[in-house]
Amino acid sequence: FKRHIIKLLSLNINWNQSYESYKTTLNGGYENLKEVWSKTMIFINNNNLKSIENGPMLELYITDPTSTPNPADWKTELFIATQ
């Protein structure tokens, strides 16, 4: 699977507050999600960044397995609120 991390300006999804966040994109099957979450947190910690304790963390499923049957074509975005 391929992974990349992009810093976003803000995350504002049904909260009354905006958050700076990091986005990781997983291209591949859901069985890789645990590893991608772990590597994203390691990246944040190794780069002297801080996630917000009890802050929002989201998984956004860009593709749908019913319309995209090949797991190699699945795309999931992870968002972690940072300070």
Q: 24: exposed, middle or buried (C-beta count within 10 Å: 0-12, 13-18, 19+)?
A: buried
Q: What is the pLDDT of residue 17?
A: 67
Q: What is the pLDDT of residue 52?
A: 87
| Residue 59 C-alpha from the chain's centroid | 6
Computed on alpha carbons and rounded to an integer, the radius of gyration of the chain in Å comes to 13
Q: Is 45 helix (H, G, I), strand (E, B) or coil?
A: helix
Instruction: Tell me the C-alpha distance between 7 and 1, whole Å.
Output: 20
Q: What is the pLDDT of residue 83?
A: 83
**pLDDT tens for each residue of 25-75:** 999 999 999 999 999 999 999 988 889 888 888 899 999 899 999 999 999
Q: Which residues pair with 8 in a beta bridge?
A: 21
Please state the rounded mean pLDDT for residues 3-17: 51
